[in-house]
Chain A
Amino acid sequence: MKPVYVKSKGLQDTELHYCPGCSHGIVHKLIAETLEELNIIDTSVLICPVGCGVFAGNYLACDAVEAAHGRAPAVATGIKRTCPDQPVFTYQGDGDLASIGIAEIVHAAMRGEKFTTIFINNGIYGMTGGQMAPTTLIGQKATTAPLGRQKELHGEPIRMCEMLSSLGGLVYAERVCVADVPHIIKAKRAIKKAFTKQLNNEGFTFVEVLAACPTNWAMTTRKANEWVLGPMAEYYPLGVIKEV
């Protein structure tokens, strides 16, 4: 029998620490498959975030560096400028990228640094216990917003893809989700395209993944994925946001 789907060589054998049904594992697999298909497992450098994705370097088979909270784009800038021939990418959650590290990502996009950022948007702070993130939807409950996010009090959620797309250095921004198999296939295509553009030295590439956090959303995995495809995809439209 021929293999139709086996574990990618881009992944280590370590068991993931993520909660059951967490989208992080699926996105790790898509990155691993991309690295394997582009034959860049040995040369790629991953910059890990702070948050649930902090151990990504223990799971992906490429080299990895841990950055201070939110500073992954700054570290990636240094590595990419020192080693321009090596693929460099950051893997960041919404607390890391859209909150504490928003200055670093905006300036990296402005300068058009030639690395790739994979942004995991699940609208909540996962690791610290479900606090409200800049990406939490209006009305969505969090431990620091027990009545739900209110527009008057907390403002409207940040759409990172659209915000960064106004900057000249960004050449590709796409928003995808991994809530079902067809969307997973599209997400893989987007991640591979971002890496290919980086290998062609085109500029800064950004892929936002709408992710489920069943634990902190207090939902079953089925309900969580329905939430991603429903209210989340409505506020954060899927598709290519910018391509130069």
Chain B
Amino acid sequence: MAAKVIFDRDRCKGCELCVDACPVHILALEESTNRKGYHPAGCTDTSKCIGCASCARICPDSVISVYRD
């Protein structure tokens, strides 16, 4: 099952709610900063994504969209 998680990087405030919500633990904050000056969240291993959309549901800033086959 292929799934894709897309981040609107510059809207992210690095709150880490998605990192905690991910059941397969593949989200983490990046080393670099975005336009706002926060460390944005990103996916470390897309191949493990199950497309559950937990990250997207908990994101207060609508940064994340999730797609699945």
Contact = CB atoms under 8 A, between A and B. Distances in A.
A181 B54 contact: yes
A1 B58 contact: no
B69 A6 contact: no
B4 A5 contact: no
B67 A26 contact: no
A25 B16 CA distance: 14
A16 B56 contact: no
Interface in A173-206: 178, 180-181, 184-185
B7 interface: no
Contacts, number: 79
B16 A3 contact: no
Contacts of B57: 5, 181, 184-185
Given A18-B60, A181-B21, A181-B54, A6 B65 contact: yes
* Size band of the interface chain A makes with B: 20 to 34
Interface in B19-69: 20-21, 38, 51-54, 56-62, 64-69
A184 B68 contact: no
Nearest to A27: B60
Given A181-B21, A181-B57, A4 B68 contact: yes
Contact of B68 (A2, A16, A19, A29): A2
Interface of B: 2-4, 11, 13-17, 20-21, 38, 51-54, 56-62, 64-69
Q: Which 9 A/B pairs are nearest by Cβ-Cβ distance?
A: A25-B60, A21-B15, A20-B13, A20-B15, A5-B53, A1-B67, A5-B56, A4-B66, A7-B62
